[in-house]
Amino acid sequence: MDLSYDPPASFRHTLDQLHATVAREVGSDDFGPGDYLPGLKALLQSMDYDPQFSEQGRRVAWGMVVGVLRGRAQAFRAMAENPGFDTTPITSPVVITGVPRTGTTALHRLLAVDPRFQGLQTWLLDSPMPRPPVAAWGDYPEFQKSVASIEARYAAAPQKRAAHHIAAEEVHECCMLLRQSFVSNIWSCGWSAPSYDAWWQCQDEVAAYDYYRRCVQLIGSSEPHKRWLLKNPGHIEHLDLLFAVFPDARVIQTHRDPAKAVPSLVSLLMQLYPIMESGDPQLRGEVMLRREVAKWAHAVRKAERVREQYPGQVLDIVHADFHAQPMAVLDTIYSFIGMDIPDNTRAAFARRIEEKPELQHGVHRYDIADYGMSEAEAREPFGDYIQRFDLAEHNK
């Protein structure tokens, strides 16, 4: 959360100002191909039309747009400074996906304990560059800026730590790169943006996935032989694009009762609403839940069709099984990805499982009834998906 930028009186007329601000900060006016511009323009127009921003909300939203465009400019500057980065192979990456709040984050961070993997750390998603040695991270202004931004976010909404804790040095989600192309579901989550959302749902994300692949190559170019571990719930809606950029990916899809997972997502997203907007939070939550149920039901159905074209490349993991028998699930995963688990790594897994770091900041509590929907209503759009994985019985 960057509050250092004074927001303009009108967002939709600031395209040149925005680019000039970022170019001065980065020292480069190279923003790459112009495929990001239609989305950026749609977003800025939406920011004038859709949300009921509070004064602080306007500042936060503007800081986010500046920061994301800055990340794109930094990526292209780093690409120019590191010729040959795009010859870096990405061989059989392990990619975790699934409806949000189905255990993707916990599984991702657990697997990241294995030092044979490399991942996308939060600060490198904010400022894409070849990953420096870990011992030097604290010396980078980009790392320091990410730490400060995260702390400001939690200072504004402390309850977010329990719901979804992130840290600059920990692995985070691919969507933070995808949003730098400004054709992203993420832009409909931070504040009310139905006109942008309507535009986004009519677009494809081919260019965004190409940019994402290049950033992964860039970040991993300093350790080209380490296997990638990636994670993003949104990939389930775009498995076709994921396999287009990573044809030999090994995808792990997590599953949980949508009547538990989707309200948890909405509860998480709603925690910033009182800071961002002055509208009715009850109405916003109800509208958001209906939108998210429809979106993720569509994503699951689309993923089912794509998966049929890639037999043997997707592994299903049920959320309740992972919680009940995490080591058994890890054994299944490592067999699927064709790796062993050395004794020291197995011991490190056991320690993290015992420590339960995801609970160190408290328990995230929510109730679907708070958003004007019953569990049966939330499950209905998912059809036989719930029955196929026996998810209605797994209500943890």
CA distance readout (Å), 171 to 108, 126, 387:
8, 12, 32
Whether residue 286 is predicted with pLDDT greater than 90 in this model: the reply is: yes
The CATH architecture annotation of domain 15-388 reads 3-Layer(aba) Sandwich (3.40)
Residue 363 burial (CB < 10 Å; 0-12/13-18/19+)?
A: exposed
CB neighbours of 116 closer than 8 A, spacing ≥ 6?
226, 227, 339, 345
Residue 254: φ, ψ to 5°: -95, 155
Average pLDDT over residues 100-116: 96
In the chain, % helix, strand, coil (3-state, to 5) comes to 60, 5, 35
Query: Which residues lie across from 117 on neighbouring strands?
Result: 227
Structural domain boundaries in the chain: 15-388
pLDDT at 251: 98
Residue whose entry in the numeric block shows the structure tokens 């062993």: 340
Percent of the chain with pLDDT over 70: 93
396 pLDDT band, cuts 50/70/90, is very low
Question: What does the DSSP assignment read for 199-259?
Answer: HHTT---HHHHHHHHHHHHHHHTTSTTSEEEEE-GGGGGGHHHHHHH-TT-EEEEEE--HH
CA–CA gap between residue 389 and residue 252 (Å, rounded): 15
Condensed to tens digits (0 to 9), the pLDDT of residues 124-168 reads: 999 999 999 999 999 999 999 889 888 876 776 665 554 556 788
Dihedral sign from CA coordinates of 100, 174, 89, 144:
negative
pLDDT at 359: 59
Condensed to tens digits (0 to 9), the pLDDT of residues 307-362 reads: 999 999 999 999 999 999 999 999 999 999 999 999 999 999 999 999 877 656 55
12: helix, strand or coil: coil
DSSP at 88: -
Cβ(175)–Cβ(211) under 8 Å?
Answer: no
Average pLDDT over residues 228-247: 97
CB atoms within 10 A of CB 326: 18
CA–CA gap between residue 256 and residue 324 (Å, rounded): 13
Whether residue 395 is predicted with pLDDT greater than 60 in this model: the reply is: no
CA–CA gap between residue 129 and residue 156 (Å, rounded): 29
Mean pLDDT of the chain: 93
The candidate with the shortest Cα–Cα distance to 166, out of 113, 125, 215, 208, is: 125
For residue 152, the Cα-to-chain-centroid distance in whole angstroms is 19
